[in-house]
Amino acid sequence: MHRFTLRTGPAAVAANEHRMVYRHRLPVRVMHWINVVSFFLMLMSGLGIFNAHPHLYWGADSDFEAPLLSMSARAGPDGEPHGVTQVGTHVFDTDGVLGASRVEGAARQTERGFPSWATIPGQQYLATARNWHLFFAWVFVLNGIAYVAFTVFSGHLRRDLVPRKAELRGIGASLKDHLLFRHPGGEAAKRYNVLQSLTYLIVIFILLPLIVVAGLGMSPRMDSLFGGWVGLLGGRQSARTLHFAAAFLLLAFVAVHVFEVIVTGLWNNLRSMITGYYRLPADEHGQEQKREPKRERRAP
């Protein structure tokens, strides 16, 4: 049995900085990196598909006179296409990025929704973009099903993701800590905070199913096999809009996630997602329990 003593001061901070815990199990790490690769390839190929018709509508049909969002080009003073983006009735100048941009090697700007550096392929090839998108969509879906199954049956969902009642009561304090860039240390760093847990649950069980269902809703074949359900989404054009919106909500989640990884210790977080081991930072009191120099493994 280990003997524990409480230490404070610089010595405690130094000891805590060298304490390693096993934070992420191998299946979680593997599925995480599969998601990273497949998500970005899906996103870029999806933007390539969107460029074939860079407009969004609500309903069963395309209302060309009243799009929800539209990226297009108008003739500029020099006669070249000038990119604009319309959201509802508001028009924004987005030349060079959205609506019209220059493809590498081209002599002039061309009308396109997103720039070539953000799409797969860079040129406008709808069939190729669809092939990339559908292939990695299936990789993403199968990997997601495997992750949910592992999360449920391994106890990861109950143990690490579902917040406790006491944690739910601390949502306000957790939000304040994030806004002030105060992050947990010591024992608290071993567990997801309440905002992390709730965000992961929303992404896994709401946002990801929505993007999959809305994507299937754009397929006439799926609607013919199981008729009527696309109407629950508001129609095929509504499904396309929901799919697009969900993709950018996922991108926003990824951006915040990467930001948090950087500000809480880039290498430490990367190592934990590559090797599984995470170095616990000191808590705000610089306190830690003395223990033998042996790596600690989380409960299975």
User: pLDDT digit string (tens) for 143-157?
Assistant: 999 999 999 999 888
Residue 18: predicted pLDDT: 57
Whether the predicted pLDDT of 287 surpasses 80: no
**Identity at 101, one-letter amino acid code:** S
Residue 290: predicted pLDDT: 38
- Domain-by-domain residue ranges, the chain? 8-25+154-282, 54-118
Burial profile 159-190: b = 16 or more Cβ within 10 angstroms, e = fewer = ebbebeeebeebeeebeeebeeeebbbbeebe
Residue 13: predicted pLDDT: 44
Per-residue pLDDT, averaged over 101-127, amounts to 87
Query: From its phi and psi, is residue 276 left (phi > 0), alpha (psi between -120 and 50) or beta?
Result: left
pTM of the complete model = 0.84
Whether the predicted pLDDT of 52 surpasses 60: yes
**Maximum distance among all Cα pairs of the chain, rounded to whole angstroms:** 81
Q: What phi and psi, each to the nearest 5 degrees, are found at residue 226?
A: -130, 80
